[in-house]
């Protein structure tokens, strides 16, 4: 079975200050993909709690924050990724004090390139929660489904 690779140019995602081309990442990377991060000043979409796997994005991000130093010691970089806009991702990363970027794949390029699973809530197409482990842009492990989300980083 041939390992999946990120294709150059099809997986550039917005982050604060520019883009990250996942195909150009070297070494070991953990890319956790999640539906959406809620905001304290905005309600979650109607029926959110009834969608299997939807709840838990903030605890998942905080768990990766709390394990970031341990993952770095093991030589792994960390990225969070959702289909939310780049400015939303930047605000969430700052609010949650994340030492790694949250990437925006607002155009769902990874869905098209890798056939990643999505669902629709409140008219928004969102990624289902999964985690990709890559080595030199080659996907070497996929965790799907991820439950409970706050245990994913451990």
pLDDT of residue 1: 37
Buried b (16+ CB within 10 A) or exposed e, 9-43: eebbbbbeeeebbbbebeeebbbbbbbbbeeeeee
pLDDT at 10: 64
In tens, the pLDDT along 131-153 reads 999 999 999 999 999 999 999 99
Provide the CATH topology of domain 30-75+84-151.
Answer: Glutaredoxin (3.40.30)
How far is residue 98's CA from residue 114's CA, in Å, rounded to a whole number? 26
For the chain, residues with pLDDT lower than 70 are 1-3, 9-11, 16
Mean pLDDT estimate for the chain:
91
Three-state secondary-structure class, residue 56: coil
Q: Where are the domains of the chain?
A: 30-75+84-151
């Amino acid at each position: 079975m041939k390992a999946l690779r990120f294709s150059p140019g099809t997986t550039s995602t917005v982050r604060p200050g520019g883009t990250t081309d996942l195909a150009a990442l070297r070494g070991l990377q953990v890319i956790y993909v999640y539906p959406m991060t809620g905001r304290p000043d905005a309600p979650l979409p109607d029926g959110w709690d009834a969608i299997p796997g939807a709840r838990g994005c903030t605890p998942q991000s905080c768990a990766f924050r709390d394990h970031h130093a341990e993952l770095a010691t093991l030589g792994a970089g960390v990225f969070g990724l959702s289909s939310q806009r780049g400015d939303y991702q930047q605000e969430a990363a700052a609010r949650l004090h994340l030492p790694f970027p949250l990437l925006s794949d607002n155009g769902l390029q990874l869905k098209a390139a890798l056939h990643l699973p999505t669902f629709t809530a409140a008219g928004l197409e969102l990624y289902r929660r999964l985690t990709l482990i890559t080595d030199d842009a080659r996907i070497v492990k996929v965790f799907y489904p991820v439950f409970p989300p706050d245990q994913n980083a451990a």
